[in-house]
Amino acid sequence: MDCYKEFAHIYDKLINSDIDYKTWASNILCICSEYGIDRSSYLDLACGTGNLTVEIASGFKEIWAVDLSCDMLSEAEKKIRDAGIKAKFVCQNICELNLNNTFNLITCCLDSSNYILEEENFKNYLLGVYDVLKEDGIFIFDINSYYKLTNVLGNNTYNYESEDVVYIWENYLENDIVEMNLIFFVKEGQVYRRFDEEHSERAYKEEYVESVIKEIGFEIIKKMDNYEDKAVSQNTERICYVLGKSKNNKSL
């Protein structure tokens, strides 16, 4: 079953109250200023409906947004165009990047990296980012921590109810992969229409992620708890990495 099709059109209604995109964007731009990152070009990978893209884009001259879901890209394009920002939108798998450009800032946020279920694809994803990141640029991404996926989300059921949307979210954990079954009921007139989606995320251990980062040729500039300038702990739920290109060539 495809992800983020009908869900794309109600995504903002459900997610915006939980994520402070403005604060995330402000912190990311502060990191750019801290490391003197040129504001020429910005690439947002797995951009979704463009909530973070639109907050960061105004600080850059050239903006690209990539997502595998055409429905999410459509929502992002409307949002970014309405903000008066010109951008290029590409429907593409982030594990198979084929972009004829390089970028000063690349982001991949909101646990999009956890959606990469195969370790080989995870390596290909980071290799693709390495290739399109400028020598003095930075790559910022986050992951749902191993702790969050195995202890908080795994094998648990959640539900949400508002006047217009009701959903049931059932999770099943096996071999470090959380299978998420979501059942939505969206109000249309006097009735509720049902649709289902299935999502999967892999719980990556920090040791593995960081070994791949270094193997490819990145260096870890910062490692933070949820885009805040504080250390990661054993109960951290979202780990944010800021990467630059190592002075040594990549080894793959």
Q: In whole angstroms, how far apart are CA 50 and each of 64, 174, 212?
A: 11, 31, 28
| Beta strands in 128-237, from DSSP E residues, in sequence order | 133-144, 157-161, 165-174, 177-188, 191-202, 218-225
pLDDT means over runs of 10, the chain (252 residues): 53 66 95 96 96 93 95 91 96 96 97 96 98 97 98 91 86 96 86 87 98 97 95 97 80 43
**What local confidence, expressed as pLDDT, does residue 190 receive?**
86
Cα distance between residue 32 and residue 38, in whole Å: 8
pTM over 0.75: yes
In 92-154 the beta strands, taken as DSSP E runs, fall at 103-108, 133-144
CB distance 136 to 80 below 8 Å = no
What's the confidence (pLDDT) of residue 59? 84
| CATH number belonging to domain 148-202 | 2.20.25.110
Q: Measured between alpha carbons, how far apart are the two ends of the chain, in Å? A: 34
Q: What CATH number should be reported for the domain whose range is 6-144+204-245?
A: 3.40.50.150
Tell me, yes or no, if the two domains 6-144+204-245 and 148-202 fold the same way.
no
* Residue-wise pLDDT tens digits, 87-124: 999 999 999 999 999 999 999 999 999 999 999 999 99
Return phi, psi of residue 11, to 5°: -55, -50
Give residue 252's pLDDT: 44
pLDDT value for 10: 60
Bridge partner residues of 172 (DSSP)? 179
The residue extents of the domains of the chain are 6-144+204-245, 148-202
